[in-house]
Amino acid sequence: MSTFLRYAKEAIHDMCYIWWMEMKNVVKDDGVLIFFVLVPLAYPLAYSWIYNNEVVHDVPVAVVDMSHSELSRQFIRMMDASSDVHTAYYCNSLAEAESLVGHQVVKGVVYLPSDFDKKIQRGEQAHVSVYCDMALMLTYKALFSTATNVSLAMNRQIQVSKLGSATQRDEEINTTPMVIEEVPIFNPTGGYGSAVLPGVLVLILQQTLLLGIGLSAGTARENNRYKDLVPVSRHYNGIFRIVTGKALCYLMIYTVMAAYDTLVIPKLFGFTQLVRGSDLIGLMLPYLLSCIFFGMMLSCLVRYRENVMLLVVFTSVPMLFLSGISWPQSSIPGFWQGVSWLIPSTFGIRGFLRISSMGGTLHDIHTEYTVLWIQSIVYFFATCLVYRYQVIKSRRHVNERLEMMRQKVRKYIVHSSSSDYGESQSR
């Protein structure tokens, strides 16, 4: 019993020592500090600034009015009066307007044919053509919904004038037999920032962790005499101690960063935030742990400190897409869904969106939460295996070196003793 206690005490002592050493390394290394502190602090600010306006207003469109009638002018006026569309150009032909779209000057064209007015007066159906540049979902939605709304409003007026209803209520029921309410939920303004940024914030946590851990592993290797990751020392004795000690250091720093990125930034920029403290902790703890162990596992691949940037920065964009944040998760091909299961950010982002932007509870993100814990455990043991291999390798290097020294010494001793012998002989 007492031996076990002594063992445990020593293990904890070593773990804390490694924790302390790693902490010192992080603070001393400005490269690691940049990724652990500066990037998670400053990057979200830059992104939030870019997407701060959230929605598009006054999307510029070109108008081609071939009808030149009162009704067509009313249509255009109503379009321009809406908050989302601004009729920036009047053109004389469709070709002229389309070239404005092609030159990225306007985002769409409203075309009113020459028989627009005539058809309505005759009691036939008139057509308005809207040409959209589909490259941007936001402008497409703004233009489409404005044109539909305007046409609905004008339709109603025309119907009322034709019907000759008895009462106002009669008019209402005849023109709108059924009311359709639109309720945008969770992202009420339909803002781009609110949709994309929470995911980016969570991804930043993972990527900076990978970068920082990789960089500090690279530094440890470069400073080590035998280019090994793990030093041979009294305290670096036992895999679990090394892994948990280092992980605790990273976890300590990232608890602060995660709180900043998931609570302060959304608050500052007014993104939808419906999260409860306990749910957030419940999600973030396995997320950070799985990121840390994922990073530590990969850090063994890093030979030189800068190589990690080649690997990690490059993967950020694909990882963001794999999480299903812009392209719906249900439309991602099966193979890529499989790949996405290996990456912590996929589940971190999905889980965070659901509890923070949509006000879900831990129960609603059961799958994400479970997978993150499984990832943490699997990557923890994988890290231990990789570190074990590293420790064995560094021991072997030291032993080889020792053996070499010993042989040198022996040779020297043999040589000097023989020369001593020779000297004494000659004497």
Interface positions, 319-348, toward other proteins (CB under 8 A): 321, 324-329
Q: Is 416 in the site for other proteins (CB under 8 A)?
A: no
Q: Is 1 in the site for other proteins (CB under 8 A)?
A: no
Please report how close the Cβ of residue 284 comes to other proteins at its closest, in angstroms.
Answer: 18
The dihedral sign for the CA sequence 70, 59, 199, 322: positive
Residue nearer to other proteins on the CB measure, 35 or 250: 35
Q: Which of 187, 197, 191, 196 is nearest to 55 (CA)?
A: 191
**Residues 46-75: x/- map of binding to other proteins (CB under 8 A)?**
xx-xxxxx-xxx-xx--------------x
| Of 37, 41, 154, 378, the one binding other proteins by CB under 8 A | 154
Residue 68 CB contacts under 8 Å (≥ 6 apart), including other chains: none
**Residues 221-240: x/- map of binding to other proteins (CB under 8 A)?**
-xx-----------------
Site for other proteins in 11-50 (CB under 8 A): 31, 34, 43, 46-47, 49-50
| Of 48, 67, 69, 194, the one binding other proteins by CB under 8 A | 194
Gap between the Cα atoms of 304 and 31, Å rounded: 13
Burial track 233-258 (b if 16+ CB lie within 10 A, e otherwise): eebbebbebbbbbbbbbbbebbeebb
Q: Is 310 in the site for other proteins (CB under 8 A)?
A: yes
Gap between the Cα atoms of 386 and 371, Å rounded: 22
Give the phi and the psi of residue 90 in degrees, each rounded to 5: -110, 125
Residue nearer to other proteins on the CB measure, 15 or 59: 59
Question: In whole angstroms, how far apart are CA 410 and each of 406, 414, 415, 419, 425?
Answer: 6, 6, 8, 14, 22
Give the phi and the psi of residue 285 in degrees, each rounded to 5: -60, -55
Residue 98 CB contacts under 8 Å (≥ 6 apart), including other chains: 109, 131
Q: Is 114 in the site for other proteins (CB under 8 A)?
A: no
Residue nearer to other proteins on the CB measure, 151 or 255: 151
Gap between the Cα atoms of 310 and 304, Å rounded: 11
Q: How many residues bind other proteins (CB under 8 A)?
A: 107
| Of 4, 5, 70, 184, the one binding other proteins by CB under 8 A | 184
Gap between the Cα atoms of 152 and 176, Å rounded: 10
Please report how close the Cβ of residue 76 comes to other proteins at its closest, in angstroms.
Answer: 13
Site for other proteins in 363-382 (CB under 8 A): 364-365
Please report how close the Cβ of residue 219 comes to other proteins at its closest, in angstroms.
Answer: 6
* Contact call for residues 400 and 376 (beta carbons, < 8 A): no
The span of 218-226, 231-239, 242-250, 375-383 binding other proteins (CB under 8 A) equals 218-226
Q: Is 269 in the site for other proteins (CB under 8 A)?
A: no
* Contact call for residues 318 and 340 (beta carbons, < 8 A): no
Instruction: Write out the E strands in 40-119.
Output: 59-65, 85-91, 108-112
Please report how close the Cβ of residue 6 comes to other proteins at its closest, in angstroms.
Answer: 38
Edge-first strand listing for the sheet containing 108-112: 85-91, 59-65, 108-112
Which residues lie across from 111 on neighbouring strands? 64, 129
The span of 145-153, 281-289, 294-302, 341-349 binding other proteins (CB under 8 A) equals 145-153
| Of 3, 95, 177, 335, the one binding other proteins by CB under 8 A | 177
Residue nearer to other proteins on the CB measure, 150 or 249: 150
| Of 182, 277, 333, 425, the one binding other proteins by CB under 8 A | 182
